[in-house]
Chains A and B, each alone.
Chain A
């Protein structure tokens, strides 16, 4: 197998907090706990989980917008912790980030041409002005926007078009990996499919890898080769897309799948209603992170953290009773 584009090993991120939350008062939010995974060339990995489970924090650590509390990130086998200067700049070019909010992620004072060509200039990809303009028009066309839009400002575009511009900006610098953080959740339902289809097409055309972050499991399933399910900072299950649904091996994943309302599915069939609420974790979790809401938990779940168990090759579940799920 080839070398992963990105490999993260035992990544942790703790945020210090001052305010006291209703039921607990301690000093750290444990946003990410011991997370490890790999992303291979041309692979789309979906990262799914409920709000606040740490998805964005992982993405931000990968692009060095956030310093890990512990753990390392490897780019094609090299530890990025030691990257400085030129090497860091090159790394930042290869790993691009698309944000959730298409309204605030584009500089309102720059025309589309400048937004897209900035990367080309910054990373010394194309120095010649005329060639750069040709390239920008070409990229704009690639994301399905007519080149007449080159000299418009972001506010003149709809949400879906703005997200296309964000995508144009990131593919301009020829990245290896694009991290898409909820790229369509701010868009109207009828527009979402346009953007998702575009990402899929570009991925094949440009041999990209994608880390697709979302709380929408159906969407993640649609676009991903492999899926990581997160809960409260932990990865609880990791599997090839199809296997995650066919051989679900974690009670949280099972509840998540069953909770998605879908026309045509019989709602009451097998719906698992969990108890309790997801709260940010500030104290140390001794056992399983899902224990307090789990419908399968036993004594051992309170005491011992479940280790990753591979019931099927490539399919890992962090549950003491994975085979019984």
Chain B
């Protein structure tokens, strides 16, 4: 990672929804990039916009109701948003693999696992013979840690446990050795010991194939372990961007701070947890100014204004969107 080759570049992306006359913007002018072989974590609470951000990257947003209202998304220098559908197809599943949030819904219940896992191969490598496809698929199933790959190949999704289904999902995403893997909550439905197995697997595959990773989760611990860089998202905007190290040693945003002290850790003593008051707003109620303000215990007068705090640069590669840091900022995004 000595040369900083940019793989993904997102500029001012805004995603709107129209639901029964109600219009709201669930993602509001976000910008970020992912370099080759870099792993980036996207954390935030339910509904803050993680999944739709990642779906926009491969133009898989359900529209309607979703609509990209502004911004650009570049993958390897090519604009995803203006790309022809046939060019887009060449990227999906080939250059960008996705592990979807719900393995149950992303697998087709009436198709054999093997047929589904091998589908990207059949689409992107039409020259491959049947036998080659079968062998590559069995190998992939083995690689994701499924014992008895031949039996799994001819099984239907309902015959597998949650962990096995999740592995099958990873196999599908990885079978063409993509340059970027988007993993949307790849382990939320799974137990921690299985989660550890799967994370180990993703790490190994990533290293072997020099792949970039966008890991979406609400689990800060997982991000700390898997990612070099972390983006903390709150209510459709980025609250903080930093290296994992810097974020966990010195979280700046009051929301990030709150998150870290509200989660019980094994290393804690059993005192009361500090909780963040209030609750997460619906996108239709998002404020113009700082969206965390109503719940923030450190707010100052400036925070009440109807201007969103920009992402202030505080330290090398450490950005925070909070008015408290305006004076010490070395710049802003």
Contact = CB atoms under 8 A, between A and B. Distances in A.
Partners in one complex: yes
Interface of A: 21-23, 50-51, 158-161, 188-194, 196-197, 200, 215, 217-219, 221-223, 241, 245, 255-265, 267, 271-279, 293
B194 A277 contact: yes
Contacts of B160: 22
Given A221-B264, A264-B267, A274 B276 contact: no
A217 B221 CA distance: 14
Given A160-B279, A245-B266, A190 B200 contact: no
B224 A189 contact: no
Contacts of B276: 190-191, 193-194
Nearest to B281: A158
Contacts of B218: 188-189
A217 to B, nearest CB: 7
A277 B164 contact: yes
Contacts of B268: 218, 222
Contact of B262 (A159, A192, A267, A273): A192
A217 B266 contact: yes
Contacts of B277: 194
A245 B193 CA distance: 17
Interface of B: 45-46, 147-148, 151, 155, 159-164, 190-197, 199-200, 218-225, 244, 248, 255, 258-260, 262-268, 270, 272-277, 279-280, 295
A217 B197 CA distance: 18
Contacts of B199: 261
Contact of A21 (B147, B159, B220): B159
B239 to A, nearest CB: 12
A51 B162 contact: yes
B201 to A, nearest CB: 9
A158 B279 contact: yes
28 contacts: A22-B151, A23-B151, A51-B191, A190-B45, A190-B262, A190-B276, A190-B295, A191-B276, A191-B280, A192-B263, A193-B262, A197-B275, A217-B266, A218-B265, A221-B264, A222-B264, A223-B264, A256-B193, A259-B192, A262-B265, A262-B266, A262-B267, A263-B223, A264-B267, A265-B267, A267-B224, A272-B196, A278-B191
A263 B221 contact: yes
A257 B266 CA distance: 8
Given A190-B255, A221-B270, A274-B197, 17 more contacts: A23-B151, A188-B280, A189-B259, A190-B275, A192-B263, A193-B263, A197-B273, A200-B272, A241-B270, A263-B244, A264-B224, A265-B266, A272-B196, A274-B193, A277-B164, A278-B191, A293-B193
Given A194-B275, A274-B197, A267 B259 contact: no
Which of B264, B267, B295 is most buried by chain A, counting CB atoms within 10 A of its CB?
Answer: B264
A281 to B, nearest CB: 12
A153 B161 CA distance: 38
A18 to B, nearest CB: 14
A218 B196 contact: no
B45 A188 contact: yes
Contacts of A262: 221, 224, 265-267
B262 A277 contact: no
B237 to A, nearest CB: 16
A262 B244 CA distance: 12
Contacts of B295: 190
A240 B197 CA distance: 28
Nearest to B146: A277
Contacts of A190: 45, 255, 258-259, 262, 275-276, 279-280, 295
Contact of A255 (B45, B193, B258): B193
Nearest to B191: A50
